């Protein structure tokens, strides 16, 4: 098409789109402010009705909500208890700055404990038997099981995102190249990974690859890898395959004139790729990429099956000790929501920043 014509055509299209937007927002906008407020109230009422109905139903089946028990799954104050190791007696109790040193001699040997002042009520010469509490006092704050799980999920998702992007860009550039070894490798990778369930891939990574690799590592005297690493590998490679396709689509959307301009000035293929094409492709790549990484966070919940204690597995373990089933599962979902929502906010911010150019 003659570019002049194309300009007019796209200008026309632009007007049409703007026009349509206006129409849509005209339909959307309620002209009466009272009607608008009422409609917002309607939404809130609906929301509370649903929550209320769920709450009522759980009470009807005698579920006791105990949200107050939940915070300790995030942070708790640990208690440190020291036990006597055998029959014997308290030798000495001496001041050690604001603490005290208790020396206990039993048939298992002599030991000195440094403990806070009020953590015991012995006096020198008291007899102790095995299992007696020598001292008991509060330790520091410790992260609860959900906090640890959340941290593992964040760590694994972050690492898999980084590796997924690297794999995806390398794969995407290979996918659009003319060299068969690159192009066909990329196609094979994408098709194999996209054609099988993630759960199966995780199992293969852990039980097939993991077993083999750990054996090889052991044979060479290297300690075996933590399951977390196999989890990161499985997720990166899975996500990478989808990112390859996203990157490919982004690259193919760039006008071929850009490549010609760059190559005709003597840039190499890779210079053109990294300075001209990829920076421009970023704009089209970003939104689907965000969706992919939101999926990644959610998919990391499968890693519990290979004994990685991420958020979902941590929740399950929390429930077996506390029986706060409802609270913990709801909390678990809210935590995932918070992570995905934060990510999508960040991406929207990035999108706005790239769009201003």
Partner 1 sequence: MIDVISIYKTFYVPHEVKALVDVSNKIEAGEVVVVIGPSGSGKSTFLRCLNRLETAERGQILVDGVDIFDPKTNINTVRAEMGMVFQSFNLYPHLTVQGNVTLAQKLVRKRPKKEREEKTRMLLEKVGISAKAKAWPSNLSGGQQQRVAIARALAMDPKIMLFDEPTSALDPEMIGEVLEVMKTLAKEGMTMVCVTHEMGFAREVADRVIFMDEGMIVEEGTPEKFYKNPDHDRTKLFLKQIL
Interface with partner 1 by CB under 8 A: which residues?
3-4, 7, 255, 257-258, 260-268, 271, 275-276, 279-280, 357
Q: 6: which 2 tokens?
A: 């194309």
CB-nearer residue toward partner 1: 70 or 272: 272
Least distance CB 272 / partner 1 (angstroms): 9
What is the Cα–Cα distance from 202 to 198, expressed in whole angstroms? 6
CB-nearer residue toward partner 1: 179 or 264: 264
Least distance CB 13 / partner 1 (angstroms): 16
What sign for the dihedral angle of Cα 157, 163, 165, 168?
A: negative
E strand or H helix at 275, and its extent? none
CB-nearer residue toward partner 1: 280 or 292: 280
Least distance CB 284 / partner 1 (angstroms): 12
Least distance CB 176 / partner 1 (angstroms): 18
Q: What is the distance, to the nearest Å, from the Cα of residue 139 to the centroid of all Cα atoms in its chain?
A: 29
Instruction: Give the SS3 label for residue 64.
Output: coil
Name the DSSP letter for residue 303. Answer: G
Least distance CB 311 / partner 1 (angstroms): 38
Determine how many CB atoms are found less than 10 A away from the CB of residue 148. Answer: 17
CB-nearer residue toward partner 1: 28 or 255: 255
CB-nearer residue toward partner 1: 145 or 173: 173
CB-nearer residue toward partner 1: 221 or 256: 256
Least distance CB 150 / partner 1 (angstroms): 37
Least distance CB 265 / partner 1 (angstroms): 4
Largest Cα–Cα separation, the chain: 104
Alpha helices, DSSP H, located in 176-277: 180-194, 198-203, 211-219, 227-252, 256-264, 269-272
* HSE-up (13 A, CA, CB side) for residue 212: 4
CB-nearer residue toward partner 1: 211 or 354: 354
* HSE-up (13 A, CA, CB side) for residue 182: 12
What sign for the dihedral angle of Cα 309, 314, 318, 323?
A: negative
Quick one: which of 283, 280, 299, 296 has its CA closest to 347? 283
Q: What is the distance, to the nearest Å, from the Cα of residue 236 to the centroid of all Cα atoms in its chain?
A: 13
CB-nearer residue toward partner 1: 1 or 34: 1
* HSE-up (13 A, CA, CB side) for residue 176: 23
Name the DSSP letter for residue 225. Answer: P
Least distance CB 253 / partner 1 (angstroms): 13
């Amino acid at each position: 098409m003659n570019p002049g014509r194309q300009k007019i055509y796209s200008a026309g299209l632009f007007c049409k789109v703007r026009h349509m937007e206006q129409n849509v927002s005209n339909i959307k906008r309620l002209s009466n402010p009272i009607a608008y407020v009422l409609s917002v109230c309607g939404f809130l009422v609906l929301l509370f009705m649903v929550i209320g109905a769920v709450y009522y139903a759980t009470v009807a089946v005698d579920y006791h909500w105990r949200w107050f028990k939940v915070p300790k799954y995030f942070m708790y104050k640990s208690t440190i208890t020291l036990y006597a190791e055998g029959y014997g007696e308290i030798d000495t109790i001496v001041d050690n700055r604001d603490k005290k040193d208790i020396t206990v001699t039993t048939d298992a040997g002599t030991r000195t404990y440094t403990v806070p002042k009020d953590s015991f009520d012995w006096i020198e010469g008291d007899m102790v038997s095995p299992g007696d509490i020598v001292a008991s006092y509060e330790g520091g704050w410790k992260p609860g099981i959900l906090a640890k799980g959340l941290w593992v999920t964040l760590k694994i998702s972050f690492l898999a995102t980084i590796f997924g992007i690297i794999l995806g860009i390398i794969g995407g550039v290979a996918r659009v190249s003319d060299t068969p070894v690159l192009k066909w490798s990329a196609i094979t990778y994408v098709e194999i990974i996209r054609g099988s369930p993630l759960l199966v891939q995780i199992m293969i990574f852990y039980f097939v690859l993991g077993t083999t690799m750990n054996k090889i590592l052991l044979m060479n005297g290297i300690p075996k890898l933590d399951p977390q690493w196999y989890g990161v590998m499985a997720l990166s490679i899975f996500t990478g395959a989808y990112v390859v396709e996203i990157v490919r689509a982004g690259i193919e959307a760039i006008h071929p004139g850009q490549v010609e301009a760059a190559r005709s000035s003597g840039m190499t293929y890779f210079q053109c790729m990294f300075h001209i094409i990829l920076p421009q492709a970023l704009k089209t790549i970003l939104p689907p990429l965000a969706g992919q990484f939101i999926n990644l966070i959610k998919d990391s919940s499968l890693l519990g099956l290979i004994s990685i204690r991420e958020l979902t597995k941590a929740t399950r373990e929390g429930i077996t000790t506390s029986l706060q089933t409802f609270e913990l599962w709801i909390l678990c979902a809210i935590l995932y929501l918070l992570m995905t929502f934060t990510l999508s906010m960040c991406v929207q911010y990035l999108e706005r920043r790239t769009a201003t150019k």
